[in-house]
Amino acid sequence: MPINSFSQRLLTWFDKYGRTDLPWQKKITSYRVWVSEIMLQQTQVNTVIPYYQRFMERFTDVQTLADASLDEVLHYWTGLGYYARARHLHKASQQICTEHEGKLPIDLEKLMRLPGIGRSTGGAILALAHKQRYPILDGNVKRVLCRYYAIDGWAGKTKIANNLWHLAEKNTPKKRVAAYTQAIMDLGATVCTRTKPHCQFCPFSDDCIAHQNHCETVYPTPKPRKTLPIKTITFIMLQNSLGEVLLEKRPSKGIWGGLWSFPECLRIDDIPAWCQQNLNNTTLKCYTWQPLRHTFTHFHLEITPVLIPIETEISQTVILKNIVWYNPTQPQLYGLAAPVVRLLKQLTVSKGELLL
C-alpha cells in the first residue's frame, strides 16, 4: 500500500463526514486551538463545547487570560476535571505574554517549553492553526493506528509509543495537514470508538487488521489494571445562620490544587479536636451525611460530609487562613472541586437540614 493512500482515504472520508462546525474551528487562531486542545485532553467533545464557549467569552485572548486571577480561571473550569490543565493554561498564558509578546510560538520546541503542552498538543496547534506538518498522537489517533496495524502492547511503553509516533509521522501528508489532523481525530471520536466501533462506516475497513480478524476491541492494549486503593476523608461543612458555608483554599499542589473545598480531617472522631483547635469550641452539634465516592486516576476517595450549623458570631472566630464564607445560593467566582459543587447544591436544597 503506498504511504499516502492512508491519508488520501482519510481525507476523502473527512470531506464527506468530518466535523467542520466545532466552536474552535471558527475564526481559527493559535489561542483558540490551544485552549480547545487542552480542554479536549481526556475529555469528550460534547462535554467540552459548553465549557469552551463560556471560557472563550470571558478570556477572549492570551492577555485577558494572563491578567485574570487563577481563582477565576478555575471557576470557569469547575466541573471539567483534571484541574492541572487549567493551572498550566493560566501559567502558560503569563509566560507567553512575558516571553513571547503575547503570541503563541510557531516553533514546536518553544511551544513544548510552555506548561501543559507536549509533543501531540504542540503538533496539533501548529497543524490546525498554521498548517505545519506535525503528527499528533492523542487517544483517538492511538486507537485508530493500533487497530489498523494491530499493534500489541500498551502505548505507555516507550517502544510501543515510538512505533506509534513513527506511524503517525509516516501517514501525515505534506498537503492538507490541518484537515488530516482533524480527520484522524474525528475518525477515532465518531467511528473508531472505544467500545462499539462503527466499522461499516470506516474508510479503512477493507484492510484494517483488527477488523479483518474481528478483534477491534482488543486494541489498543489496555494499561495493566491495578486495584485502586480507597482513601477516606471527612469534610467539615460549617454553615452559619446566614446560610454561608466555610470554604478553604487548597494548596497549589496535590489533588484539587488551588481549588476551594471544605476543611478536612481524617475521621469523624477527629472533629471535636478540629473544632477546639480552629473554633475554640467542642460543643457543636454534628450531622453526618451519607458518604460519597470520588475517583481519581490512582485511587478512590471516600468522603464523609459532616454538617455543623454554627452561630454567626462563632463563624468570626475561625483561625484558619485562606478561607471564605460562601453563599451557595449566590455562586461566586471560585474554582470548586466536583464533590464540593455537589454538596453545595444539597445544602441549597436542604437549607441546612439533615439529608438522609
Enumerate domains of the chain plus CATH numbers: 3-218 (1.10.340.30), 230-350 (3.90.79.10)
Question: 245: Cβ–Cβ under 8 A, 6 or more apart, which residues?
Answer: 237, 238, 239, 262, 325, 326, 327, 328, 344, 347
Neighbours of 320 (CB within 10 A): 14
The vertex-316 CA angle with 311 and 319, nearest 5°, equals 125
Please give the torsion angle defined by the CA atoms of residues 48, 53, 56 and 58, in that order, rounded to the nearest 10 degrees: -120
State residue 115's pLDDT score: 97
State residue 351's pLDDT score: 55
Q: What is the mean pLDDT of each run of 10 residues along the chain (356 residues)?
A: 77 97 96 98 95 98 97 95 96 98 97 98 98 97 98 95 98 97 97 96 97 97 92 96 93 92 95 90 88 94 96 76 90 91 87 44
Half-sphere exposure at residue 219, Cβ-oriented, CA atoms within 13 angstroms:
27
Q: Spot the catalytic one: 37, 72, 216, 244.
A: 37
Question: 262: Cβ–Cβ under 8 A, 6 or more apart, which residues?
Answer: 235, 236, 237, 245, 246, 247, 248, 305, 340, 343
State residue 41's pLDDT score: 95
Active-site residue flag, 169? no
CA distance 57 to 76: 11
Cell triple for 299? 485511587
